[in-house]
Structure 1
Amino acid sequence: MHRVVVDPEVPREVADLLRRNGPLLSRFRTGRVPRDDGGPRVPGALIGVLGGFAVLIPAVLAVLGDSLSFVVPLLAVMIAFCLLILTVVYIARKPSPIDSVERVLYGHARQWRGRFLVLEDFDHGARRLLGRVQRAIDFILNSRINALGMLDSVRNSVMLPAEEWEIARLLTKLSALRVKHRHLARGGRSPEMVAAMAPLERALAASEAAVTARVEALERYAGHVAAAERAFLAQGQIEILRTHLPEYEQLVAEAGASTFSLPEIGYLSDDADMLQRALRESVRSAHEAFRHLDG
């Protein structure tokens, strides 16, 4: 599932709201507009009823004169009836929380138009590349070694979303250009047309290759992070085993297991040292990949 891609310059609270509501943003693109509900309104029929009461009450008072024992209850019933109708109308037209969120989202979508991209902005090929980008970035940012600061976690949190936005922006341009290119190609395949379109096709292919190279650079960085993550986890497991090593050595000695070579157990220490070196090398490689990615 692809998430909405948001320009890093958009405020974080707004960006999070946009990312959480991709389907709604897509519907806005098709012309859907939230209900404009500025609060409860009094329908025309109710206005007519209230107007009738306004005319009827003076007439009733004129006829009944001082018969307050009858007028007061009548007025009370009329007022209660009007209040009941107003309450029903208010409840019926009170905006739901969903409507409120939709209106807020719609306002942000209009304000930040062009600063976020939804699934419909990409063609099939672009969607596949975007999925690869987002999987690589998510893996890096959610890795344990990034959380522990073994990578440049601060720069990752800034640079990787910016790289996602830049690649996504290029992919939308590629998507639009591919649609236009296919439309132009349908105009005919005469030798003259083929010759005229050849440079355009080469330019399109070169642009696609350049964007794909950026995606692959991100994936290489994620691959180095994955190697460092595996070395880190394995090192932790080996360290746990090493804490129990004296128990095994003591048991072998007490049992007189002369056929078992004590140094054989020592492989744990060797493996731990090897994993430590592998971890340092993996982290170093990840940093180099990051610098290459950063240009």
Structure 2
Amino acid sequence: MDPRALPPRLVIDPSLPPEISVELRSTPHILRKARSGARMDTTKNPAVLFILPGFLAMLGLMTGMEGLLIAGMGVGLIVLIRWMAMDSTYRSTRRKLSLAQVHANYYVIPEDLDYPCQMLLRRAQNAVDAIMASRVHKDGLIDSIENQVSLPEEIWQIAQRLRRLSSMHSEHGKLVPRELPPGLEDAFKPYSSALDAAWTSLSRRVRHLEKYAKQVIKADRVYHAHRRLEALAAKTPEYQQLIADTVRDDLAHQRIRELADQAAHVRKLFEESILQARQAAGELIRSPLT
């Protein structure tokens, strides 16, 4: 499946403490429960589980039947072990649900967004993925530290604005009649225009991210060629000697100059692509959503 068609991933506020982020990220189903307003059932009485083993044990004592007494104690032990395991799971789930509810404003799940907003957020995430996976980023040829700080924050700012926009889109659709009475179109227009303006602004922001990613990918390709060329450059004397030994002098000088010119050209392309990637990053940082 085309990754561009996939729903966006969970987005968590990067300012949250790491231990909370890890906890939230590990239980997406709990986040969905919290968002839907689910509550843990506290009406169950664990004492009900022990009715049968207790009855068997009591009957065994009253009738003197050791078999029933042993059976009641055995069933009781099994029930106790299962209850302890279920209670531990219950308490863990309740704790995670409580954590998700307390931090409800610090994460955005795909279900928070309508389809257009989901696709826009996914585009932003894909752009950041391409930047972070690039060799020029990993090798520190662009501002890797700035990327690690600013790009997660950028995704978070886009995600929470898209969540708000999706909510207002839904509300707007419910409030505005499909067929407006004559003469009232202009009264509703400013509200629709406000939503359109917010969408346009966020779309432009994502395009800036994609522009930066394209420059990084371009730099990556040239960097890859540059590294291959450096490996060949170490063997330049061998190539020069081969040409000098096998080609007429005039032609040999020309081929040797071509080798040097080609190396210089690729290096220039590499330096220009790195500069363009840095400029694209600068444009992104100079106009933050924050």
Alpha-carbon distance change, 274 to 98 in structure 1, aligned in 2, over 3 angstroms: farther
Are 1:115 and 2:106 counterparts? Answer: yes
Alpha-carbon distance change, 189 to 85 in structure 1, aligned in 2, over 3 angstroms: same
Q: Which residue of 2 aligns with 1:281?
A: 272
Q: Which residue of 2 aligns with 1:45?
A: 52
CA deviations over 1:29-79 (Å, ceiling 9, x no partner) = 44556787x9x865222233344456x39xx6xxxxxxxxxxxxx87x777
Deviates more, 1:255-264 or 1:169-178: 255-264
Q: Which residue of 1 aligns with 2:15?
A: 9
Are 1:89 and 2:96 counterparts? Answer: no
CA deviations over 1:131-180 (Å, ceiling 9, x no partner) = 11000111112211111112221121111111111111111111112122
Offset, 1:115: 0.9
Counterpart CA distance in 1 for 2:158 and 2:272 is: 29
Q: Which residue of 2 aligns with 1:222?
A: 213
Q: Which residue of 2 aligns with 1:168?
A: 159
Offset, 1:204: 1.6
CA deviations over 1:201-259 (Å, ceiling 9, x no partner) = 22221111111111111111112211211121110011122233333333333345679
Counterpart CA distance in 2 for 1:203 and 1:227 is: 36
Q: Secondary structure at the match of 1:10?
A: coil
Counterpart CA distance in 1 for 2:228 and 2:88 is: 49
Alpha-carbon distance change, 87 to 47 in structure 1, aligned in 2, over 3 angstroms: closer
Paired AA for residue 86 in structure 1:
G
Offset, 1:126: 0.3
> Residues 120 and 203 of structure 2 are in contact (CA less than 8 Å); yes or no, is this contact kept in structure 1?
yes
Deviates more, 1:45-54 or 1:185-194: 45-54
Offset, 1:123: 0.6
> Residues 242 and 269 of structure 1 are in contact (CA less than 8 Å); yes or no, is this contact kept in structure 2?
no
Q: What residue ranges of structure 2 are gaps of 5+ in the alignment?
A: 1-5
Offset, 1:80: 5.0
CA deviations over 1:74-100 (Å, ceiling 9, x no partner) = 87x777545422332244442499878
Counterpart CA distance in 2 for 1:239 and 1:159 is: 32
Counterpart CA distance in 2 for 1:294 and 1:43 is: 63
> Residues 224 and 286 of structure 1 are in contact (CA less than 8 Å); yes or no, is this contact kept in structure 2?
yes
Match 1:253 to one of 244, 248, 251: 244
Q: What residue ranges of structure 1 are gaps of 5+ in the alignment?
A: 61-73
CA RMSD of aligned residues (A): 3.3
Alpha-carbon distance change, 172 to 282 in structure 1, aligned in 2, over 3 angstroms: same
Match 1:18 to one of 12, 15, 24: 24
> Residues 216 and 274 of structure 2 are in contact (CA less than 8 Å); yes or no, is this contact kept in structure 1?
yes
Q: Secondary structure at the match of 1:231?
A: helix
Are 1:198 and 2:189 counterparts? Answer: yes
Query: Highest CA radius of gyration, 1 or 2?
Result: 1
> Residues 142 and 278 of structure 2 are in contact (CA less than 8 Å); yes or no, is this contact kept in structure 1?
yes
Q: Which residue of 1 aligns with 2:3?
A: none
Alpha-carbon distance change, 254 to 287 in structure 1, aligned in 2, over 3 angstroms: closer
Deviates more, 1:184-193 or 1:1-10: 184-193
Match 1:159 to one of 131, 150, 163: 150
Alpha-carbon distance change, 91 to 233 in structure 1, aligned in 2, over 3 angstroms: same
CA deviations over 1:250-285 (Å, ceiling 9, x no partner) = 333334567954532543432322222222222222
> Residues 133 and 215 of structure 1 are in contact (CA less than 8 Å); yes or no, is this contact kept in structure 2?
yes
> Residues 217 and 293 of structure 1 are in contact (CA less than 8 Å); yes or no, is this contact kept in structure 2?
yes
Deviates more, 1:241-250 or 1:128-137: 241-250
Alpha-carbon distance change, 262 to 88 in structure 1, aligned in 2, over 3 angstroms: farther
Percent pairwise identity: 28
Paired AA for residue 201 in structure 1:
S
Show the 5 A alignment for 1:29-40: 29-30=35-36
> Residues 140 and 222 of structure 1 are in contact (CA less than 8 Å); yes or no, is this contact kept in structure 2?
yes
TM-score (norm 1): 0.79
